[in-house]
Amino acid sequence: MPYILNKTNGNVLTTLEDSSVDVSTSLTFVGKNYSGYGESVNENFLKLLENFSNSTPPDKPILGQIWFNSNSDTRRLEVCYDGKNFKGVASLRVQSATPSSNLQGDLWWDSTNKQLKAYDGSAYVVVGPVTSKTARSSWAYDEEKGTDNTDVVTYPVMKGKVGGVTILTIAKLGTESKTFVPDAGSNIYSDINPDAVVKKGITLVGADKTTGSSIESGYYFWGTAAESLTAVTATNALKLISTATRSNTDFYVPFVSSIGQSSFVYTTSTFSINPNTNVLKTTATAARYADLAEKYLADRSYTVGTVMAVGGTAEVTACKLGDRAIGVVSANPAFIMNEGLANGIAVALKGRVQVKIESTCKKGDRLTTGNNGRARPTVIGDPDVFAIALHDASMGMVEAVIL
């Protein structure tokens, strides 16, 4: 009577006839009354004991079969996961010292630094967390207990460390919280000035709980407006940056110095701005260029030096003989009014500019309007003088002062 061999799931593997053996798998199944069955049975136990240890995989594996790969560069227990391919099971060791006799792919839980590491064939590399407990530069997550505006609470905090020392914290506090005072027993308390508080966003080590400055502790923000925090004398600059509302008062403007190393930012009471009125106050100003200009809408594009008069299809146009000039198209205005006028051209109203002329002129000649946006020296009877030539010139361009 044959044996019917069933798998764990109930499926039939094979029907084993009397006095026969089945070698359809890695084991030898013995039928009833098979002569010499003892050797086959014992070899089956041995193969199971050694997990079919060999340098090549079993040639007739079944789903779930275990195989120990005895290759010198592998030596790893493997499992047949789909009936066709064997998947390696890496060694995982938990200890404080680096394991010896490592194989590529081995895993090690570093119990000292609390990190998972993998052997790449030459050394263990960190899988994660990316920073160790003893790392000298890292980000560390903590849940710190302390007191906010209302109650004793616990908040998540990220601590940035350089040289093993915390230099800043990043915190997102509750919607009602403005500050967070760490408890004396918390980790963050020992890292930060004990008198400091943690606020929403970034808090530097030793930051003053009133002004937010960390200058005395030697830590700075650098770049953009945060440069004002580096100035020993920038009290008013700090106020300008940190103020939350526009008040009807003057604020001193911070200046960045590129000379020397002792003072990066400074302020002066003679240069201020009122954010409520948008009025800038100063003792004096200096400009590289020499004319006062205002933007006007012109009926078309005009080149520098063109003499302009009111008229045309827009506000201004090139002058013609007898027009009253309002100014000259400027190349580089020292000060420009109505600057936000879209598509406007800058017309110099006062100061020193280049002026197109239609005839020769001499230094000191009074200039009036000619044709095609050009000026000419005045003659007896000309009613309008808008500029005076500053040197002799032939036809083309002359430098003149607009009256």
Structure tokens at 141: 């997550």
* H or E segment and range at residue 169: strand 165-171
Q: Which of 92-96, 186-190, 354-358 has the lowest mean pLDDT?
A: 186-190
- pTM, two decimals, is 0.41
Set out the domains of the chain in order of their start, with CATH numbers: 3-49 (no CATH), 92-128 (no CATH), 138-204 (no CATH), 232-282 (no CATH), 291-402 (2.40.300.10)
Tell me the pLDDT band of 243, cut-offs 50, 70 and 90: very low
Beta bridge partners of 397: 356
- For residue 82, pLDDT over 80 is answered with no
Tell me the pLDDT band of 376, cut-offs 50, 70 and 90: very high
Cα-only R_g, the chain: 44
Per-position b or e across 213-223, b if 16+ CB within 10 A of its CB: bbbebebbeee
- For residue 162, pLDDT over 60 is answered with yes
pLDDT of amino acid 9: 87
Share of the chain above pLDDT 90, in %: 37
DSSP for 23-80 reads -SSSS-EEPTT-TTHHHHHHHHHHHHHTTT-BSS--SS--TT-EEEE--TTT-EEEEE
* H or E segment and range at residue 188: helix 187-191
Nearest to 110 by CA among 88, 125, 89: 125
pLDDT of amino acid 308: 97
Per-residue pLDDT, averaged over 321-349, amounts to 94
- For residue 294, pLDDT over 80 is answered with yes
DSSP for 340-370 reads T-TT-EEEEEEEEEEEEESS-B-TT-EEEE-
pLDDT of amino acid 101: 75
Tally of helices (H runs) and strands (E runs) in the chain: 3, 32
Per-residue pLDDT, averaged over 363-391, amounts to 93
- For residue 180, pLDDT over 80 is answered with no
pLDDT of amino acid 202: 78
Place of tokens 């967390």: 129
Please provide residue 362's backbone torsions phi and psi, each rounded to the nearest 5 degrees.
-115, 160
Nearest to 323 by CA among 300, 307, 299: 307
Provide the 3-class DSSP secondary structure of residue 402: strand
Tell me the pLDDT band of 88, cut-offs 50, 70 and 90: confident
pLDDT of amino acid 319: 96
Structure tokens at 385: 């003088």
Do 392 and 361 form a contact (C-beta atoms < 8 A)? yes
pLDDT of amino acid 380: 84
- For residue 78, pLDDT over 80 is answered with no
Q: Which of 112-126, 159-173, 215-229, 378-392 has the lowest mean pLDDT?
A: 215-229
The C-alpha atoms of residue 337 and residue 351 are separated, in whole angstroms, by 14
Residue of 327 and 198 predicted with greater confidence: 327
- For residue 129, pLDDT over 80 is answered with no
What is the average pLDDT value for the chain, to the nearest integer?
Answer: 80
- For residue 19, pLDDT over 60 is answered with yes
pLDDT of amino acid 253: 75
Nearest to 42 by CA among 221, 50, 250, 304: 50
Residue of 312 and 259 predicted with greater confidence: 312
Do 241 and 221 form a contact (C-beta atoms < 8 A)? no
Do 263 and 215 form a contact (C-beta atoms < 8 A)? no
Per-position b or e across 310-337, b if 16+ CB within 10 A of its CB: eeeeebbbbbeeebebbbbbbeebbebe
pLDDT in tens, 196-209: 567 777 777 766 66
Residue of 92 and 300 predicted with greater confidence: 300
The C-alpha atoms of residue 3 and residue 14 are separated, in whole angstroms, by 8
pLDDT of amino acid 240: 42
Peptide bond into 129 cis (omega under 30): yes
pLDDT of amino acid 29: 94
Nearest to 326 by CA among 308, 312, 311, 300: 308
Nearest to 149 by CA among 189, 175, 176: 176
Q: Which of 180-184, 197-201, 248-252, 399-403 has the lowest mean pLDDT?
A: 180-184
Per-residue pLDDT, averaged over 251-275, amounts to 70
Tell me the pLDDT band of 178, cut-offs 50, 70 and 90: low
- For residue 63, pLDDT over 50 is answered with yes
pLDDT of amino acid 401: 97
